[in-house]
Amino acid sequence: MNFTSLPGLPLLRNFYIDNFKSLVDFSLPEDLGQLTCLIGLNGSGKSTLLQAFDFLGHLAIGRIDEWLRRREWQNSDLTSRFLKKQVIHFRLGFEFPQSGTVEWTGDFNVTQLRCTRETIRVGDKKDKVVLGLLRNESFATNARGESVEIPFSSLTFHGSVLSLLNTKGTHPAICDLKEFASHLRSLDMLSPHLMHKRAKDADDVGYGGERLSAYLHGLPKEEKVRLLTTLQGFYGQVQDWHTTTLQAGWKDLRLREAYPDAYGSSLVTMAHQLNDGMLRVLAILAQTGSGQPLSTSGKGQHYRCSLFDEIENGINPAIVEKLISHLLAAPQQIIITTHSPMILNYLPDEVACRAVVLCYRTREGKIRTRRFFELDEPKRKLQLLGPGEVFVDTDLAEAAAEAERQQGLQP
Ligand SMILES: Nc1ncnc2c1ncn2[C@@H]1O[C@H](COP(=O)(O)OP(=O)(O)O)[C@@H](O)[C@H]1O
Ligand SMILES: [Mg+2]
């Protein structure tokens, strides 16, 4: 499976953000593919980057206050401690099957918790503005190409202006962007401790997996069957899983496992007794899905981008290969971080060349990124070794120094 075998997949291609926590004037390498795998030393901004994605995803939904509360963050935690700026600037480039190249830019004010300037542009030259929140004027273009003004004074919203826009009848690029952005999900705190909990309602598994049971409960029947089959491919002993509604709407997750030799029958395990690795795999599989529409109104799970921090945590080496094949075949964009050479070793070379991105800090403390296998040393070693072996054989501080030298040589 490679990038080109997934035609028509909506993709986030370019990513720029300024003043989000430690990410100052920060961009990812251009032209991201279906899989991006971030590597780098501790403190090189990998988890922060995942949080930035999650933040942007929540802009499109609104309710930024609630998102901050869930993460136990204050408004001031959102910006860089080294700058005195109130505004987070972002610019994201997308490639959508129908609406083509789409760019979403905005200035998010951390005091007002909303974008005070925002545009959506389309076309290769990004010269056609189809949504604008500019100088206290706002408008959106409808499907016939006519501009409809929205009085700024009447706008009360959190996050992006997209959060209050009914996209029905608007330009296809606005619909595509809202659908994709509102499904950007980062599971950067996927923790067994949180996953063991019961949950109420959910349209995702939660950044810590805390809504896993409720999310599973709400899946359509066919999706539940498909998820069981996929899980059985990882853990042959799993016979079934089911969720039940408890008092006050809490959802409880149980798994039935077969150990015929030991018990003569099957064993029902409650979520809080399940092993951590299996819970994490279940959360990852549930989040990445099978590509079928979740609802008739939505565009389906391929209009999603899911992010997982330190994907290998708690997962048995025997499972890693299956997990990587699953992620590469997932009908959606995936961004992961890893410290594990094994994860990299299961990537085909041509995928690794494009997917593996080194995050590093410059001597001034700025966080920068570079495609790892575009660096001379790793590129040379990849001719002889697997991607994971090159990772083991490379001093990441030296790789960062090489990346900076190359950067300096660029015009
Ligand atoms: N608001 C902020 N301003 C500047 N730096 C920050 C802010 N919040 C966190 N940091 C720093 O950014 C770094 C983030 O590292 P992190 O994203 O956790 O790296 P990794 O996941 O690669 O180990 C940490 O060194 C942290 O101290
Ligand atoms: Mg981290």
Q: pLDDT 10s digit of each residue in the chain, 411 long?
A: 344 445 678 999 999 999 999 999 999 999 999 999 999 999 999 999 999 999 999 999 998 999 999 889 999 999 999 898 999 999 999 999 889 999 999 999 999 999 989 999 998 888 889 988 876 667 777 888 887 777 666 677 889 989 888 888 889 999 999 999 988 888 877 776 777 777 777 777 887 888 888 888 888 888 889 899 999 999 988 888 888 888 777 888 888 888 766 656 677 777 667 778 888 898 899 888 754 444 434 455 567 889 999 999 888 888 999 999 999 988 899 999 999 999 999 999 999 999 999 999 998 889 999 999 999 999 999 999 999 999 999 999 999 999 999 887 665
CATH of domain 3-195+276-409: 3.40.50.300
Contacts of 312 (CB under 8 A, 6+ apart): 320, 338, 339, 340, 342, 343
Ligand 1 pocket: which of 18, 19, 21 to mutate (most atoms within 8 A of CB)? 21
Q: How many residues does the chain have?
A: 411
Tokens in use for 326?
Answer: 């699953």
User: Which of the ligands is closest to the CA of residue 39?
Assistant: 1
> What pTM, to 2 d.p., does this model score?
0.89
Ligand 2 centroid, distance to 361 Cα (angstroms):
14
Give the residue extent of every domain in the chain.
3-195+276-409
- Indicate which atom in ligand 1 lies nearest the CA of residue 50: 17
Could you tell me the two tokens for 375? 């660096």
Neighbours of 357 (CB within 10 A): 23
Can you name the residues that pair with 132 across neighbouring β-strands? 119, 139
Ligand 1 site, residue 21, Cβ cutoff 6 A:
yes
- Phi, psi (5° rounding) for residue 84? -110, 35
- Tokens 């409809």 — which residue? 148
Residue from 84, 102, 71 nearest 19 by CA: 84
